[in-house]
Structure 1
Amino acid sequence: MLGSLGFSYVGLIYLLMLFIPNIIWSKNQPIDYNNVQENKILLSFERVGEVCCTCSVLIFSDFNLASFSTWSLWLIVSFLLMLLYEICWIRYFINEHTEENFYRSFCGIPVPLASLPVTAFLLLGVYGKVIWLIASVIILGIGHIGIHIQHLKIKK
């Protein structure tokens, strides 16, 4: 449950799936982006969670592919959520770059650009049985999803 130290190529793939769209977004932010003063507590949770998740997902080899078992379903669902996350980014990039498009739900999933990767990383932690990632994702989720909800409420 503590994790086996070693490089995780699966973790690297997840981080690339996470960071590449965010880098592109930094150059394509919503035209009506409301750069509100974010809650400092939520922002602290988000930053700590980001650092801890990034480290955890890379330094534990437990996330790498193993022989298929029913436990592998955690990884499959996690990866499917990351694919949905990518679809949400594509949806944002091909449509008008507005906050409405950025925060709109996807198949009933609220704030999908925040909730999908957080859930995917949580399930990756369950798959790898690494408590450090699970704890890190909970911290990240409180901050990241909380900030997205804060922005969504201000938008309305």
Structure 2
Amino acid sequence: MGLHAQGFIISLLVLLPNLIFIFFPPRSVPGSLDSVPLIFTLLERAGQITCFMMPILFGRMIAAEPLGVSAILMALCMLVYYGCWVRYYRSGRAFAVLFKPWLGIPVPMAVFPALYFLLLGVWLQSWLFVVPACLFAAGHLVNSWSVYGHVRS
């Protein structure tokens, strides 16, 4: 356990597009969206907080781990995720594009950050990282799928 720049970078890579999103919000946001059971929102939030804080708190452990296939797959997840953000901005910030499938993958802007954090747990071979990633994935995917269903219809 201990702080290290790599831990900050791992969290920042996912957060950066979301920080930009604050200043350039979507257009054409529906007036109301179907809500999902509260448990999924709670899982998503608990998973988000934990997934973003764990790499920071365990940065030294991450820095000590040699790069492997999981780390390469994490980088690919980020490339696809950033590509989805580019698609969103090129669309004129259309809300529906945030949930639009890409190459047959539904809600890719939810799938790829979830995979990124799951792969971090695999890379580190640590349940301490896998469990929060699963909580985040469950909540984020269900919430995003619900919104996608609403904007699709």
Range of TM-score over shorter length? 0.7 to 0.9
Partner residue in 2 for 1:36:
33
TM-score of the superposition, structure 2-length normalised?
Answer: 0.87
Alignment of 1:71-150 (within 5 A): 72-150=68-146
Aligned-residue offset at 1:127: 0.3
- For 2:34 and 2:63, locate their aligned partners in 1 and report how far apart those are by CA, in whole Å: 39
For structure 2, the 5+ residue unaligned runs are none
Cα distance, 1:107 vs structure 2? 2.2
Partner of 1:48: 46
Q: TM-score, normalised by structure 1?
A: 0.86
Distance change in 2, residues 1:67/1:136 (3 Å): closer
Gaps of 5+ in 1: none
* 2:105 counterpart letter in structure 1: I
Taking every aligned residue pair, what percent have the same amino acid on both sides?
26
User: Which residue of structure 2 lines up, in the alignment, with residue 64 of structure 1?
Assistant: 63
Please tell me whether the aligned partners of residues 34 and 150 of structure 2 are also in contact (alpha carbons under 8 angstroms): no
Cα distance in structure 2, aligned partners of 1:144 and 1:11:
22
CA offsets 1:66-97 (integer angstroms, 9 cap, x no match): 445xxx11111111111211111111112222
Q: CA deviation at 1:37?
A: 5.8
Q: 1:7 is matched with which residue: 3, 6, 29?
A: 3
Number of equivalences: 149
Higher deviation after alignment, 6-15 or 126-135:
6-15
